[in-house]
């Protein structure tokens, strides 16, 4: 088995919000914190964004990609699509395990006010003022790692994640309100403790683009 480690650095260009299960005085929606009290972006959010973008790109290039939760759309266990081989599905555990993205800063969050909008009247709704805790623009660090049966499958996984990361525009909630927009999502791959050259990933991208 071959060990793949992906180091991810996510740089936000606008304030960010992902709703946690905390209560904060003065905020209706609070940011999540980990066991050490550090702000973080949940691993499920990262994985979901990457999977969605990977599916869209490969489908646009003419590759067979399952339809996820749609009726009859999930890959059978003996014929997994490229995305399911990396991100898994209910019948196939994902070989990659994602960590939460931890904020690489110690600045205080800010509270933003907002108001609910009526979709019919296109105007502010009465008594729907709310307050959202947001993290300032900065860098977030995360990892993904796992074991693959061959060098080829490990490189394919690294290429898929890196390709999807390049196309993520925003992370978290309320991107339509200007929150969570990205400057860059950088992915560095290490296979069996040896850094993977960008050229190896680009070769895989070109192979996929050729259909």
Name the DSSP class of 76: P
Q: Please, what is the Cα angle at 86 between 34 and 66, to 5 degrees?
A: 115
- What pLDDT is attached to residue 68? 63
Q: What mean pLDDT is predicted for residues 165-175?
A: 87
Residue 122 lies in a domain: no
Residue 194 lies in a domain: yes
Residue 115 lies in a domain: no
Residue 71 lies in a domain: yes
- What pLDDT is attached to residue 27? 63
- What pLDDT is attached to residue 161? 97
Residue 16 lies in a domain: no
Q: Is the pLDDT of residue 56 over 80?
A: yes
As for how many domains the chain has, the answer is 1
Residue 33 lies in a domain: no
Residue 128 lies in a domain: no
Which ranges of the chain does DSSP label H, i.e. alpha helix? 43-60, 82-87, 151-166, 198-209
Q: What percent of the chain has pLDDT over 70?
A: 83
Q: Is the pLDDT of residue 211 over 60?
A: no
Please give the residue range of the domain that contains residue 167. 2-11+39-106+138-209
Average pLDDT, the chain: 84
Residue 135: exposure state from Cβ atoms within 10 A (0-12, 13-18, ≥19): buried
Global pTM value: 0.85
User: How do residues 10-35 score in pLDDT, each as one tens digit?
Assistant: 999 998 888 766 666 656 667 777 77
Indicate the SS3 state at residue 206.
Answer: helix
User: How do residues 91-145 score in pLDDT, each as one tens digit?
Assistant: 788 999 999 999 877 677 777 666 666 676 666 666 667 677 778 888 999 999 9
Residue 132 lies in a domain: no
User: How do residues 122-137 score in pLDDT, each as one tens digit?
Assistant: 666 666 676 777 788 8
Residue among 55, 138, 140, 68 nearest 98 (CA): 140
- Mean pLDDT lowest for which of 122-131, 139-148, 178-187, 195-204? 122-131
């Amino acid at each position: 088995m071959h060990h793949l480690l992906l180091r991810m650095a996510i740089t936000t260009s606008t304030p960010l919000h992902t709703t946690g299960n905390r209560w904060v005085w003065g905020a209706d929606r609070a940011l999540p914190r980990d066991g050490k009290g550090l702000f973080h972006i949940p691993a499920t959010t990262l994985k979901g964004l990457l999977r969605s973008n990977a599916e869209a790109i490969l489908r646009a290039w003419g590759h067979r990609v399952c339809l996820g939760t749609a009726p009859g759309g999930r890959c059978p266990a003996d014929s997994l699509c490229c995305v399911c081989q990396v991100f898994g599905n209910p019948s196939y555990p994902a070989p990659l395990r994602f960590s939460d993205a931890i904020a690489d800063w110690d600045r205080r969050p800010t509270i933003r006010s907002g108001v609910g909008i009526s979709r019919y009247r296109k105007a502010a709704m009465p008594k729907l003022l709310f307050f959202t805790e947001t993290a300032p623009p900065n860098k977030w660090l995360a990892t993904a790692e796992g074991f693959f049966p061959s060098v080829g499958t490990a490189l394919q996984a690294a290429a898929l994640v890196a390709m999807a990361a390049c196309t993520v525009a925003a992370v978290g909630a309320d991107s339509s309100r200007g929150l969570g927009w990205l400057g860059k999502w950088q992915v560095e791959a290490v296979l069996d403790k040896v850094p993977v050259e960008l050229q190896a990933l680009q070769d895989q991208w070109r192979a996929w683009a050729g259909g």
